[in-house]
Structure 1
Amino acid sequence: MKINWKKGIFSNNYTFYSEGKEIGNLEDKVFSSTSSGLLLDEKLKFITKGFFNPTTNIIDSKTNKVIGNIAYNSLQSKAVATFNTETLVWKYENFWNSKWSFNQRQNKLITASVSTTEGRVECETDKTVYLLTALFINSYYNRMSIAILIAIFIPIWMASMN
């Protein structure tokens, strides 16, 4: 499956397309710990907890049950998602963070090329929960990058005002 996504430059809301048709979205609010996503018939909720060692519960919105979780390694820009007995690793594939993959053992199930406002994802699995989770992790790291930039530049800007 091949999916394209688009979003505004300052937006965290993604729209997913396949063959030019809208097939889902990811609503990822900046100052909220809850995000929701829809892809084909799969509707998930992502609830993130913690600051220094964050984790995210993946919840099936139809049953309201936790179906997986995500643990982040912020220093390495890597995340591990666990679904029952399945473990997948999300990681950047290049220095510029414009390519990432979601891997099960050594198999790349999902690969992506992304920019600030759009991306292209190729998926070697039919499990939409994996695809939606990988897209959420990408959004999570984008939000963290922006937060770090703000934390760095506000003191510099404040110091230059004096």
Structure 2
Amino acid sequence: MEKKSIYNWKNNLFGTKSTLYRNEAVIGSLESINWNLDAHVSIHNDQFRFKNKGFFNPYTEIRNQHNELIGDIEYDTWTTKATISLIDKKYTWRSKNMWMTSWQIENEQGEIVEIKPSSLNNGGKIESFEHSELILSISLYLQKRITLMVSMVALIPLFTVLLG
């Protein structure tokens, strides 16, 4: 059995940048504009762009550093599950529990990447048997996306009170 790799990420104060570490060495980052679902991820020498499309049937394009479309992510209605389609593989992303405190990406062979956010240290951990910069990038992006979506939903009552 292949060895599991463990990565950690830490977000900046405003959540616009996440820095990815392996054994405390910086190996990459995710950058986005506040309240925007688009992002740019760099890991080692690989760079990927995530461009959100659609509103009622949302999906995200994944492009490489040459702006070539290399995959997409299609979300279910509540954005708590998604299908990741790459050129040669398919994956499923979903919450591991009803509290949405742990997430997983599973390939067709059942191999799992676990994403475990931690609100205490404003970051989290990724445990993966798949050694791929693209899958790491997707893991970081999906974590950023779900954090942003949950934050937006949490603010709805506040805006209702302020505007009401």
- Is the TM value for this pair above 0.5? yes
Q: Secondary structure at the match of 1:75?
A: coil
Q: What CA RMSD, in Å, does the superposition of the two structures yield over aligned residues?
A: 1.7
Identity %: 23
Evaluate the alpha carbon distance shift between residue 139 and residue 126 of structure 1 in structure 2; reply closer, same or farther with a 3 A threshold: same
CA distance in 1, matches of 2:98, 2:37: 28
Q: Residue 107 of structure 1: SS of its match in structure 2? A: coil
State the shift of 1:128 in Å.
1.3
Q: Distance in 2 between matches of 1:32 and 1:9?
A: 16
What corresponds to 2:83 in structure 1? 80
Q: State how many pairs are aligned.
A: 158
Q: Greater CA deviation, 34-43 or 64-73?
A: 34-43
Task: Find 1:44's aligned residue among 45, 48, 62.
Answer: 48
Q: Distance in 2 between matches of 1:64 and 1:76?
A: 25
Tell me, in whole angstroms, the C-alpha distance in 1 between the residues paired with 2:16 and 2:98: 23
Aligned partner of 1:112 in structure 2 is 115
Distance 2:118 2:77 in 1: 20
Contact 1:33 1:49 in 2 (8 A): no
* Stretches of structure 2 lacking an aligned partner (at least 5 in a row): none
Aligned counterpart, 1:21? 25
Is residue 4–residue 18 contact of structure 1 (8 Å, CA) maintained in 2?
yes
Which region of structure 1 is more displaced relative to structure 2, 13-22 or 71-80?
71-80
Instruction: Give the TM-score normalised by structure 1.
Output: 0.89
Q: Extract unaligned runs of 5+ from structure 1.
A: none
The secondary structure found in structure 1 opposite 2:111 is strand
Contact 2:35–2:148 at 8 Å: present in 1 too? no
Instruction: Pick from 8, 17, 27 the counterpart of residue 4 of structure 1.
Output: 8
Deviates more, 1:43-52 or 1:104-113: 104-113
**Which residue of the partner structure matches residue 72 of structure 2?**
69
